[in-house]
Amino acid sequence: MPDKDRLKFNDDQRREYLNLTDQVGMKWLEVFEGDAEFYSAAYWDLLTALWRAHGPRRKTDALGLMKGIKSAHTAGKYLDSAIERGIIVETDNPQDARSKLVALSAEMRERLDGFFDAAVGILHRSGQEVEALGPVPKDP
């Protein structure tokens, strides 16, 4: 347990962090039109990593993007569900006929672009609120 004298932020500032995560979580749900199946760390890891990739990844590599899932079989179920729902598209790998490529669908990339814009706006407002709620250390 941290020593209270060493803590850098007050309880109101910490509550603002929880408000931030709640708001971002609700925006994430909006991406999927309220479908709570995708409200999981596994999908967060998978979809944000594919968004960052700016292009297709080998399907077997995509399984490893879900950090909290150790079983390739279970990760495959998550990936297959996203493919079935049209969130991720699967294509043949032109450089290796033995493997498949996966990428975000164009619609999902667009939805995630909007999500990140909203999340950055929430982050900006939350940062201002944290500053208003008390002193902010220079080196948190």
Q: What is the pLDDT of residues 79-133, one digit of tens each?
A: 999 999 999 999 999 999 999 999 999 999 999 999 999 999 999 999 999 999 9
Q: Is 90:63 a contact under the CB 8 Å cutoff? A: no
Q: How many domains does the chain have?
A: 1
What single string gives the DSSP state of each residue in the chain? ---GGG--S-HHHHHHHHHHHHHHHHHHHHHTTT-GGG-SHHHHHHHHHHHHHTS-EEHHHHHTT-TT---HHHHHHHHHHHHHTTSEEEEE-TT-TT-EEEEE-HHHHHHHHHHHHHHHHHHHHHHHHHHHTS---S--
> Does some domain include residue 4?
no
> Does some domain include residue 66?
yes
> Does some domain include residue 34?
yes
> Does some domain include residue 137?
no
> Does some domain include residue 37?
yes
What residues make up the domain containing 76? 11-132
Q: Is 31:115 a contact under the CB 8 Å cutoff? A: yes
Reported pTM: 0.89
CA dihedral 128, 52, 84, 114 (to 10 degrees): 40
Banded pLDDT at 6 (limits 50, 70, 90): confident
Give the CATH number for residue 82. 1.10.10.10
> Does some domain include residue 42?
yes
Q: What is the pLDDT of residues 17-63, one digit of tens each?
A: 999 999 999 999 999 999 999 999 999 999 999 999 988 999 999 99
Q: Is 72:66 a contact under the CB 8 Å cutoff? A: no
